[in-house]
Chains A and B, each alone.
Chain A
Amino acid sequence: MTRFGEPIRRWFALAPALFVTGLLFGTSLVYGLGQSFGFLPLIGETSLRLDAYADVLGGSAGREFWPALGFSLWVSGASTFLAAGGALLVAVALSDRRTPARGAEMFALNANLALPHMVWAVALLLLLAQSGLVARIAAALGLISGPSEFPVLVRDRYGLGIILHYVGKEIPFLALIVLAVLRTQGRAYDQVAATLGAGWWQRRLRVTLPLVLPGLAAGALLVFAYVFSAYEVPALLGVRYPRALAVLALDYFLNPDLGRRAEGMAISVVMTLVVVGVAGTARALERKA
């Protein structure tokens, strides 16, 4: 190959990928933004207006939007916080000096990640329903006398079922991130601290935590962004009010009233802005790490 041919070959190799992403994803963004501004040539609307945003943020749709925003922030915030704490514990337990993480344990972490979210959500639904397995065990132990006495843990208005789902599902994801950091640089520092007489808890607090915190924080922000915009799990484990933003957006979007489409799209644009902001912060943290 001549020197002259190299740039052409390069872009030729990139072309299919750029075509798929650029064309499909790019037009999706353009069409999506256009629709949120009321651009719906299908029904003869070709002018750009801010009606949908005004309605979502302050008008009639606002009555549903703000509680949904609060609900989504609460669910993703609580899930992220608890999953990060749990991941830290699991990773520290698995990276222990005397019994390092074995293949089986790494496989278990990955297997949990490979299971689709819907499988987990369905299992949780059956397990924690008021007549589910946990309620039956509680009844057998004499803690409750009937299904109605069992607390509402899934399809509850505080999103407890959704939070529980994501805590269980995201602990392995974050634990693998922490384990990767510990594997590459954990042992030496830990041994130095031990030689200098630091106790087990002291080493965890003063050595392990500062070491893994940047990576864990970046991973946690990604989890937050993912949970914030997810649809399936809040749709399966949530209630009608308050709904998660993604559930609200899709409901509006699929509404037979075409005017609602713009509002659904506007909500998803707001969601995108939140997620991009969070992911940008994660990236900045990763750079620092």
Chain B
Amino acid sequence: MQRLDTGYEQLPTRTARSCSSTVVRLALRAGLYALVIGPIAVLALYAGSSGWFFPEVLPASWSFDPIARQLASPRTREALATSLGVAGAVTLLALLIGLPAARTLGLRRFRGRSLALLLLLLPNLVPLIATGMGLNILFLHLGLAGNALGVILVHLVSALPYAILALLGVFARYDEGYEQQALTLGANPLRVFWHVMLPLAGPGIVVAALFAFLVSWSQYVLTLLIGGGRVITLPMLLFAAVSGGNPATIAALALIFAVPPLVALALTAHALVEGTAPVGQHV
């Protein structure tokens, strides 16, 4: 175990004070993990308890009942399916619509480009509640209120800017030369798309899909305003449970609601590190 001695380590900056700052740093790192694990741990504790009353610090008995009950309940299953269906459709549409737009905006410079960009990112700026209220009457007229299609469209309005932002990051550094080489060598456009563009833009596309999914998955206000209480996603159930349910039920629902985003993040962590921006749930 030979240690390279550069003499740098012995500089007078490494004193007792830097030792205390090491302690502070460790505490901050611990705090960081607590920010993530804390809420999940609290929810697991409440969801895994039965008959846990006030002065007891830990539940007297543990049980999977609250979670099992939620997973068996038709209402929860239906909401889970609705949530997954809506978020899946929004993700797909956001990629389908966002990809050509972001590619054009990232690679070309033309008159009207800044205006188009501003318009596409504008829904990010205006409070969702204002957007939802404005669309409420329009969707009633169009027969889109109270059904899943309307909810998907209104989620898309708020998810599209995030997808386009993530994709813009890719196409700003994209080298079209590779595509031209492939074309020159006789590949057809479909092969170019599959073998050149997808691998090059892959991480950005994955991040864009993650953003779109997360935006739609956590949406409550827009679903309420357009779904009108007839499209029941998980956030709707959770909201209702908080105002009337018992802690174990609330915690079990919240845990079920928390799992898909974490799974989605774990699946895309590679692309997220490799590529671009942090997950921006807002802006």
Contacts and interface: CB of A to CB of B under 8 A. Distances in A.
B283 interface: yes
Interface string B110-138: 10000010011011011111111111111
Contacts of A89: 28
Given A113-B279, A231-B129, A133 B120 contact: no
A264 interface: yes
B108 A118 contact: no
Given A107-B269, A133-B42, A231-B220, A113 B254 contact: no
Of A21, A35, A89, A249, most B-chain CB atoms within 10 Å: A21
A10 interface: yes
Interface residues of B, number: 92
A116 B101 CA distance: 28
Contacts, number: 263
Nearest to A98: B22
Q: From DSSP, what is the main secondary structure of chain A's interface residues?
A: helix
Given A35-B133, A127-B42, A21 B55 contact: no
* Interface residue range, chain A: 35 or more
A122 B278 contact: no
Contact of B101 (A13, A139, A223): A13
Contacts of A22: 119
A88 to B, nearest CB: 11
B134 A116 contact: no
Given A123-B38, A136-B56, A246 B32 contact: no
Interface string A244-287: 00100110010000000000110011011001100100000000
A18 B261 CA distance: 28
A26 B213 CA distance: 23
Nearest to A130: B54
A249 B247 CA distance: 29
Contacts of B127: 229, 246, 268, 271-272, 275
Contact of A269 (B25, B40, B130): B130
Contact of A32 (B45, B56, B130, B221): B130
Contact of A250 (B54, B101, B129): B129
B151 interface: no
Contacts of A119: 39, 43, 254, 257-258
12 contacts: A13-B101, A13-B103, A18-B120, A21-B123, A31-B135, A90-B32, A94-B28, A113-B279, A116-B257, A123-B254, A124-B39, A173-B281
Interface of B: 11, 13, 17-18, 21, 24-25, 28-29, 31-33, 35-36, 38-40, 42-43, 45-46, 54-57, 96-98, 100-101, 103-105, 108, 110, 116, 119-120, 122-123, 125-138, 153-154, 156-157, 160-161, 164, 210, 214, 217-218, 220-221, 225, 235, 238-239, 242, 247, 250-251, 254, 257-258, 261-262, 264-265, 269, 272-273, 277-283
